[in-house]
Amino acid sequence: MKHPIVLITGSTGGIGEACAWKFASEGYRLILNGRNRERLDALRNRLTAAFGVEVLPLLFDVRDRPAAEEAVGALPPEWQAVDILVNNAGLVLGTEKEFDVCLDESDIVIDTNIKGLLTMTRLLVPGMIERQKGHIINLGSIAGDAAYPGGSVYCATKAAVKALSDGLRIDLVDTPLRVTNIKPGMVETHFSLTRFRGDKAKAGAVYRGLQPLTAKDIAETIYFAAAAPAHVQIAEILILPVNQATGTIAHRNP
C-alpha cells in the first residue's frame, strides 16, 4: 500500500522545509513546490537519503497561475491523489504605512498569500472531493486576527486566509474533507529578513529578548492536525511563544 501524499508549497525554506522533514520522517510521499530548482533538488536528495521516501520536486511560483496549472496538470498518475495540501507559501515586504507602501510589493504579497493559496486550492480540492478524502492546511497568522502598525497589507492577507479557510470548511461540510488554519505568532525564520529586505540587524531585533517559535515547532503542530483521527477536524490553531500574548504585546527580557 502506497504511503499518503502531501504537497507543500514554499517548501525550500522556513516552515515549508520543516514540514517536508517532518512528513518525510513519518513516511509520507512528498510533492515539494518551490521557485529554485537547485534548492528543490538538494532538499529532495537530503530527504531521500535520510528517510528513503519518494520526493517529487514541482518547480513554479504560486503567483504564476498558468505555471501552477501546467505543473499540477502534468503530475504523473501515481502522484495525482494528493492527500494533504499545505498552503505554506507566503511572505511580507516592508513596514511602511498603508498610504506609503510600494504597490508593486503589495501585489507580490497579495498574489502570493491570497491568490496563490486560491490557485492551489482550486487545482487540488476537486480531486479530493472526487476521492472523498483530503485535508487542506493553510498557513495563516496571528496577524490575521488584528492589524498592527506597519503591517496592514500583510494582516489583510492573513485575515483573508482565515476567511478562505472558514469558507472552504463551510463549502466542504457535506464531505469527509478537513480544513485547518494554522496561526503562528513570532517564528524565527527568514520571514523578518525578507520583510526588512535583507537587513539582518532589523530582522534580529524582532526576536530580541524572548525565545521565539521555530519552524520545527510549526511543522510539529501542522503534523499534529494532519495526524488526528479522520473524524476529527482541527479547524484552527493559534500558536505563540510563551512571552507573546497578542500580535502587538510581548514581554522582552533586557
Query: In 3-state terms, the chain is what percent helix, strand and coil (to 5)?
Result: 45, 15, 40
CB atoms within 10 A of CB 168: 19
Q: What is the DSSP string of 126-178?
A: HHHHHHT--EEEEE--GGGTS--TT-HHHHHHHHHHHHHHHHHHHHTTTSS-E
**Residue positions annotated with a catalytic role:** 154
Cα 245 to chain centroid distance, Å, stands at: 22
Q: Which grid cell sits at 18?
A: 520543516
Q: Label residue 129 left, alpha or beta by phi (over 0 means left) and psi (-120 to 50 means alpha).
A: alpha
- CA pair distance 89, 127, nearest whole angstrom: 21
Q: Which grid cell sits at 11?
A: 517548501
Q: What is the DSSP string of 41-101?
A: HHHHHHHHHHH---EEEEE--TT-HHHHHHHHHT--GGG----EEEE----------GGG-
